[in-house]
Amino acid sequence: MNETIKHQLAHRSIRFFKDEVISDAQLSTYFEVMRRTATSVGLQSYSAIRVTDPAKRAALAEVANQAYLKDVPELVIFIVDCYRIHQIAKEKGHSTERTATMDRFFQGAADAYLAAQNLTNAIESDGLGAVYFGSILNDPAKIIEILELPQYTFPLVGVGFGVPDDHPELKPRMSLDFILGENGYPLHQNYVEALADFDDEMTHYYDTRQRNQRSETYTNNVLKQLDRYNPKRAQMLQVVEAQGFDLGLTEE
């Protein structure tokens, strides 16, 4: 097994970091790996924003409801970016009608998520730690305001990284037969019964981990997450539309 795979199999979300600066040379390498990520039809419809302004970090942390976000050594926010292709079409005198369709949006989302994962792979392969901040979507309109994003863009996820000051236990994952199908969907007749062993594994994990111990199972956590409601998350598509994207809900 090569070292890259070893690092990937040992992935943990790191939320506590040492007060150590990541060198410019390291950052340059990580961002170059990010830049070389696969991209849909070659358009590279994403952008990444390195956030160093303490005031912006504090505002982002408030939206995410995660105070430690403002203190991570490095913070990068990934966005869907169709503004760039919109401007290119405009400058070349071409129609801009199809620069912000849902097709383009999903291409940009795929590009952004792949770039975020590729950046994380590079970071972890160098012995550093990373954490994702999907919580920036608690209020995407506010994130757009904080980062001064133009039309035809949309924030997706943040990545914080640095030198780990934490070594959390490896969090269990459900077995492959739930997520990997062959020639079709991996269907199970009774998920609660089929996941009983995984529930036991998660209970042991939460009971014995070093931080934030609690009694929890996977299937109970599903219900807990379904009971959580954030109206600003529920209205996310309205923000996407307000950013100029065509949701394609009307027939041409």
pLDDT in tens, 148-204: 999 999 999 999 999 999 888 899 999 999 999 999 999 999 999 999 999 999 999
Say if residue 144's pLDDT is above 70: yes
The answer as to whether 179 is a domain residue is no
Residues 69 and 88: their CA atoms lie apart, in Å, by 34
Say if residue 212's pLDDT is above 80: no
The answer as to whether 216 is a domain residue is no
Say if residue 224's pLDDT is above 80: yes
Per-residue pLDDT at 134: 98
The answer as to whether 72 is a domain residue is yes
pLDDT digits (tens, 9 = 90+) for 55-98: 999 999 999 999 999 999 999 999 999 999 999 999 999 999 99
The answer as to whether 226 is a domain residue is no
Say if residue 48's pLDDT is above 70: yes
Say if residue 250's pLDDT is above 90: no
The answer as to whether 80 is a domain residue is yes
Per-chain mean pLDDT for the chain:
96
The answer as to whether 155 is a domain residue is yes
Say if residue 252's pLDDT is above 70: no
pLDDT digits (tens, 9 = 90+) for 19-31: 999 999 999 999 9
The answer as to whether 130 is a domain residue is yes
Q: What's the pTM?
A: 0.95
Number of structural domains the chain divides into:
1
| Range(s) of the domain holding residue 137 | 3-168
The CATH number of residue 10's host domain is 3.40.109.10
The answer as to whether 81 is a domain residue is yes
